[in-house]
Structure 1
Amino acid sequence: MYKPISFFIALRYLWNTHLPNFKKIITVLSIMGMSISSASLIIIISIMNGSEENFKKNILSFIPHLIITNKNQYIKKSEFPKNILQLNNIEKVSDFISKEIIVKSQNNIAMAEIIGIDNTNYYYKNNYNTKNILDILKAGYYNIIIGEQLAKKLNVHIGDRLKLILLSNKNNFFSGKIFNQCTFKIVSFFSTQNEVDYYQILMNKEDSLDFLNYSKNYITGWRIWLKNPLSLDIHQIKKTVDNLIILDWKTQKGELFKMIKIEKYIMLFLFFLIFLVAVLNIFIILTAHVIEKKNTIAVLKTQGLSDWKIMLIFIIFGSSTAIIGNILGTIISILLIIQNNFLKFFINIFIDEINIPIIVMPYQVFFINMISTFFAIFLTLYPSWNAVRLKPARILSNE
């Protein structure tokens, strides 16, 4: 006798050479439905992972994750709250000089933001695609580096001079001076393929202090870079800082990040519906199979096969379709992701010029497979339980 008997019978019901072609087609379609749903979920969640990583790399890389300052944005270095260094998520802290100004060329005028940098601002030295940035921006020379897009807007070139105008918060009634202006020389452009190219201007920190009329040892505030900015707990950080203002990246880009999260959940929900249809298809097929095989079930029960083994037959029969579909769907999705160019070509049919990295996380693939298998097994319980409720004497009375 074949052992285990439940496993043998279940596989015979699933596929054998004597099955009618119609049943073979139904089985193949059920497996294909599970494969498509699993592959779709894995690919979509991997694309969403890539979009979040792209957001983290191209957006959060160029704005501070946290800013600590006061209401005047003019604070002494010695007032730095050292308690914040005890938080585990802190990667780097540096003081900064920053101010919104008006920039004027011979042809145009625009709003911009100046950034004063020195040796302590490691981030700006490494992420603006400009070599020897501190050698170019020597103190006292009043040199600046501006974004390419800002340069196009102002219609300026390297070597041209720009007039930077700082509006004062207070009107000096004695001198009538309500703004400070100074001329700087453009020595280079930076291009980050990011929105900062449209408004940022880099200059030496000492020159920025002089231009802003900052006293010695005074700064705008502190920039804090986090190891994982997406898991920012602003309430925990506020507990460690008193009498200071904390601005997080969500104040600038929070709405954009929320849109990405909403799109992610909507897409997952839509593809979950596809998965649900595939699982319900297995449930319907299994229910119909129980009705069709009621005479066989009655014979098995009269031969002494226990109820739990009969249930096990239909549980294996139904869940094996889901398991095979999940395995095939996972293989298909991984192959498509590895063949990145083919997948991007397919996506570009619907969306033009998309260049989002696709990131596969093994635990997500495992979770999708486990959830889909669990749902399939759960939905086989009722038809399986319904099978053991059949009364052999009543079924076989007319045979």
Structure 2
Amino acid sequence: MFHPLPVFIGLRYLRGRSGDKFGRFVSYMSTAGITIGVMALVTVLSVMNGFEGQLKHRILGVIPQAIVAGDAQHAPDVNTLANLEGVTGTAPIVSTDSVVQSPKSISAGKLLGVDVGAREPIREFMVRGDFDLLTPGSYNLVLGRKTARDLDVSVGDKVRVMITSASQFTPVGRIPSQRNFTVTGIYDTATDVDNQLMFGNLNDVARLMRLPRSQPADLRLFVEEPFNVPILEKVAESMGYEWSDWRALRGELFQAVKMEKNMMGLMLSLIILVAAFNIISALIMVVMEKQSEVAILKTQGMNHNGIVALFVVQGASSGVIGALLGGVAGSVLALNINEVMAIFNLSLLGGGLSLPVVLKPEQVLSVVIGAIALSLIATLFPSLKAASVRPAEALRYE
């Protein structure tokens, strides 16, 4: 089979001679280091993707992703906003900070007034009661499991809801707007949202907030990709609307997750970097050993670029093989990590919970390409050093 001469000689050097055991050992360790580094990076990134996906589903899928507010003269245009690129749906909403009191305890959180006839993702996480009982005039309330536990209440119990932003004057002074509500449902997202969000009927909450009847409800936007809300924010503000989104409530959390993901990727990339230094070491030893052969190749007519390509092929082969093996092994391990952990009786989350995994092919491809590129860069210095060999000096004592 025909190969270009530098490729043919480079692959032959890669196999090495039977007496060059140490050089082959260093080369094999370089390949193994890159394989382990790529495998670990692919596995960890896939698990981090899974955790990020769960957070997006359980938190950003529940809290209002974006809210557009107007006034009596400039109400949010439902049709215009619903047709924006990336918006998958709309629903009327009012929201306010509130305090909830039971006979045994007190808690605080954000009260959302919603329309039971509109789209509401919290239905997916209901564990007790019925969300559809939030009918107008019923003054019913849906709480998170943590809030219900803190208040020591269950479905059917009554709680007092107080809104400090809406107050009224009485003979004893200014007191917050308040009213008794009946707990008709409990939801559980297994996140801290459970002790922060409460749901009531849109009309009931608006009445408790003492909003004028002429004031329209705000418009809740459901977006295809919550991380793209800054683009929609510019469009909404250009229309003269007030804008708020999930970043005010959970921006810091997802920034922390992103930073942790980047730091884990950086630390695991150091494994690949160390393996690349092994490629440099192994290739320098080969160059020192092959000086006379390089000199002979030059006297036979091989040019500077051919010598460089020869040693690049030899050094980069370890990186290519290691990156490909690591990419395949990492993908297989990521997809079966829970089964592997079960074999060794390990449980990182406890309670029999499994690790969430989202394997992204484009991410695996970028890791593999990055490892190959790093191994190619590592071969440049030894290859250029080999190309600078002078035949007369190298063959002087031959």
TM range (shorter): 0.7 to 0.9
The answer for the alignment partner of 1:254 in structure 2 is 251
- The structure-2 alpha-carbon separation of the partners of 1:356 and 1:230, relative to structure 1 and needing over 3 Å to count, comes to farther
The 3-state SS of whatever aligns with 1:62 is coil
The answer for the alignment partner of 2:234 in structure 1 is 236
The answer for the alignment partner of 1:202 in structure 2 is 199
Q: More deviation in 279-288 or 179-188?
A: 179-188
**Which one of the candidate residues 97, 101, 121 is aligned to 2:98?**
101
Q: Is the 8 A contact 1:67 1:221 kept in 2?
A: yes
Count how many residue pairs are aligned between Structure 1 and Structure 2. 394
The answer for the alignment partner of 2:138 in structure 1 is 141
The answer for the alignment partner of 2:381 in structure 1 is 382
- The structure-2 alpha-carbon separation of the partners of 1:171 and 1:156, relative to structure 1 and needing over 3 Å to count, comes to closer
- The structure-2 alpha-carbon separation of the partners of 1:101 and 1:319, relative to structure 1 and needing over 3 Å to count, comes to same
CA–CA distance in structure 1, aligned partners of residues 89 and 162 of structure 2:
31
- The structure-2 alpha-carbon separation of the partners of 1:33 and 1:346, relative to structure 1 and needing over 3 Å to count, comes to farther
> Aligned-pair RMSD on alpha carbons?
3.0
- The structure-2 alpha-carbon separation of the partners of 1:141 and 1:63, relative to structure 1 and needing over 3 Å to count, comes to closer
Alignment gaps of 5+ in structure 1: none
The 3-state SS of whatever aligns with 1:157 is coil
TM-score calculated relative to the size of structure 1: 0.87
Residue by residue over 1:269-312, the C-alpha shift from the partner in whole angstroms, topping out at 9 and shown as x without a partner, is 22222211111211221122111111111222233334433322
CA–CA distance in structure 1, aligned partners of residues 99 and 192 of structure 2:
18
Residue by residue over 1:177-227, the C-alpha shift from the partner in whole angstroms, topping out at 9 and shown as x without a partner, is 533332222233222223232143333333334434444353552222221
Q: CA deviation at 1:330?
A: 1.0
1:164-175 to structure 2, matched below 5 A, reads 164-167=161-164, 169-172=166-169
The answer for the alignment partner of 2:42 in structure 1 is 42
Q: Is the 8 A contact 1:94 1:120 kept in 2?
A: no
Alignment gaps of 5+ in structure 2: none
CA–CA distance in structure 1, aligned partners of residues 177 and 393 of structure 2:
99
Identity, in percent, stands at 27
CA–CA distance in structure 1, aligned partners of residues 249 and 344 of structure 2:
30
- The structure-2 alpha-carbon separation of the partners of 1:128 and 1:51, relative to structure 1 and needing over 3 Å to count, comes to closer
Q: Which amino acid aligns with 1:259?
A: A
- The structure-2 alpha-carbon separation of the partners of 1:119 and 1:46, relative to structure 1 and needing over 3 Å to count, comes to same
CA–CA distance in structure 1, aligned partners of residues 385 and 148 of structure 2:
74
CA–CA distance in structure 1, aligned partners of residues 136 and 324 of structure 2:
63
> 4+ residue runs of structure 1 moved beyond 6 angstroms?
345-350
CA–CA distance in structure 2, aligned partners of residues 198 and 238 of structure 1:
30
CA–CA distance in structure 1, aligned partners of residues 339 and 182 of structure 2:
47
Q: Is the 8 A contact 2:166 2:209 kept in 1?
A: no
Q: Which amino acid aligns with 2:317?
A: S
1:32 aligns with 2:28: no
The 3-state SS of whatever aligns with 2:220 is strand
CA–CA distance in structure 2, aligned partners of residues 208 and 162 of structure 1:
14
CA–CA distance in structure 1, aligned partners of residues 309 and 285 of structure 2:
17
**Which one of the candidate residues 66, 76, 80 is aligned to 1:80?**
76
